[in-house]
Amino acid sequence: MKSYNFLLTVILIFISVDFLFSQTWIRKNEGFGFWSIEKDNLGNIYAGTSGTPRGIFKSTDGGETWTNVYLTGSTNYLEISFDSSNNVYVAASSAGVLKSTDGGATFTTIPASNFGGNSVNTVLGGPNGILFVGVTSGGIYRSTDFGNTFTQVLSGYSIVSLAYDKINPNYVYAGSSSTTLNGFFRSTDGGLTFNGPLNSINVWEILQKQHGTLFTLGTSSGFPVQQSTDYGLTWTTVGNTPAAIRGACLDLLENIYAAGNGGVYKSTNGGVSFSNFNLTFSSNKIISYQNKILVAVAGTTNGGIYIYTDQSIPVELKYFNAEFNSKYVVLKWSTATELNNKGFEIESCFFSDKSVNKYDWHTIGFVEGKGTTTEPQTYLFEDRITSSGKYYYRLKQIDLDGTFNYSDEIEVEVNLPEEFKLYQNYPNPFNPNTVISWYSPIDGIQTLKIYDVLGNEVSTLVNEFKPAGKSEYTLNVEDLGLSSGVYFYKLVVGDFTEIKKMILLQ
């Protein structure tokens, strides 16, 4: 019995260890300790060091390779941000703010004297030249001319985090961290004024989910995670992190990753609980990029940029619908996220008779996907219709490795005219263009000609085989050299003939 219990214990330990190390992190930029990391508007990633040696690094391939674009000075690079013009701003502590207008090729310095000589902790770029700078004991400074001049809009507090609201661009958020003066601040006028503190914890990170819910995380005793559902006005504590937190982000599924003392922690239940995510080195800022998590790790021994790639996040379909617009069924769909998405095969089946199996699917087209992206994507496909009946559609989403998933099917009922129809041109009278359209219930050679009032043929516009359905022709009088007057257009399809009058005004 004792040996049986021992064997069971060993098995359980093996299982827990296997689970613990199931998340694999890849280390980049070995030999440097990092504090800051952020991605710009074009998908480039920048990272800044703390300690020695120092530098600002840039990656153009999702963090796989890095180039040292700035190596000088004796300060820490605590935060990186970008404005709407993709200018780069780096919070450089006692050195002030570093600025690059050429993608990190060169940097200029906005000295700390612009901020009362206070040390710069954080920066936030915005639209139309707006820039916010958060400093120690000096609050927030705001610029409307790309950092050339500044106005102090909040004083006294040590601001360590800044963020724009994802839904309302007039809302700007700030977090303070110090022994006594701490909390969350909110501006509802684009950063001209700030109100607060609206909670009372050291706010090192401000997160916001797509639907608007805000979270603050930080270094206060007990390490509370606070949540607001009214744009930061009121707060409740929903859980606690295991250690002090200096950075946090959301993945594609809006799980929370928190970085700080003891490494990286993950919450899959909205911040209620966290578990270590197999990285135990002291960590600072952290971001998500496509299906990756990238974290800045301090220290020269364990320091670097560590990357975790989540292979489990699927293509998330937001909607898939269809409508008939007289000639085509127009299919529209949108994705919230995509992971390794090669594209979509569009499959259809036609059901005009209930005795026919409507699940006789066939492929009618392919639309290329966006690979891996965190941004919402919208797609469109048109299916030309020639017969009345019910049409069913579904999407076959195919990954780059060939695996695939099907969407739900959708139905469109089409009722086409059962007789020939030649429509009145529009506009009429016209100059210089008009559209002539018609409907044929059968396939065949279709001929459309123009005649003058004496019955003389002026031009043959169409003389070709066309499938059943609606067709149209745009007539440009400049191409035909017509003068003002009355003309007739004549449609012939098999035994069917119809003539209508049109008027050209010059």
Distance CA 401, CA 420 (A): 49
Banded pLDDT at 306 (limits 50, 70, 90): very high
Residue 5 confidence (pLDDT) above 70: no
Query: Among 139-148, 157-166, 319-328, 491-500, whose mean pLDDT is lowest?
Result: 319-328
User: Residue 308 pLDDT > 90, yes or no?
Assistant: yes
Q: What is the pLDDT of residue 358?
A: 46
Q: Which long-range contacts (CB under 8 A, 24 or more apart) does 459-465 make?
A: 461/436, 461/489
Q: Report residue 76 CA to chain centroid gap.
A: 31
In this prediction, residue 494 carries a pLDDT of: 87
Q: Look up residue 72 and give its two tokens.
A: 């000088």
Provide the percentage of residues in the chain whose pLDDT is more than 90.
Answer: 63
Show the 3-state SS of 285-331.
Answer: EEEEECCEEEEEECCCCCCEEEEEECCCCCCEEEEEEEEECCCEEEE
State the chain's mean pLDDT as an integer. Answer: 88
Worst-scoring range by mean pLDDT, 36-50, 206-220, 278-292, 376-390?
376-390
Model confidence over 351-390: pLDDT tens digits?
654 434 445 788 999 999 998 887 889 999 999 887 778 8
Mean pLDDT of 386-415: 84
Question: Taking residues 98-120, what's their average pLDDT?
Answer: 96
Taking a C-beta distance cutoff of 8 angstroms, is the pair 112, 96 a contact?
yes
Between residues 105 and 417, the one the model is more confident about: 105
What is the rounded average pLDDT of the residues 5-14?
Answer: 32
CA dihedral for 260, 261, 267, 271, sign (positive or negative): negative
CA-wise closest residue to 94 among 78, 118, 122, 110: 118
Least confident of 41-45, 152-156, 159-163, 238-242: 41-45
Residue 96 reports pLDDT greater than 70:
yes
DSSP string, 177-211: -SSSS-EEEEESSTTSS-B--SS-S-EEEEEE-TT
With 80 as the cut, is the pLDDT of residue 7 above it? no
Interior angle at CA 83, CA 81 and CA 89, nearest 5: 40
Q: Is the pLDDT of residue 14 over 50?
A: no
Q: Is the pLDDT of residue 405 over 70?
A: yes
Check pLDDT > 60 for residue 289.
yes
Region 407-411 average pLDDT: 82
pLDDT for the residue numbered 78? 96
pLDDT of residue 22: 59
Least confident of 38-47, 250-259, 399-408: 399-408
pLDDT at 177: 94
Q: What is the pLDDT of residue 351?
A: 64
Tokens describing residue 277: 């995510």
Question: Across the chain, which distance is largest between two alpha carbons, in Å?
Answer: 112
pLDDT of 257 strictly over 70: yes
41/138: higher pLDDT = 138
Q: What is the pLDDT of residues 221-245, one digit of tens each?
A: 999 999 999 999 999 999 999 999 9
Which range, of 277-286, 365-374, 405-414, averages the lowest pLDDT?
Answer: 405-414
**483 three-state secondary structure:** coil
> Edge to edge, what strands does the sheet with 183-187 contain?
159-164, 172-176, 183-187
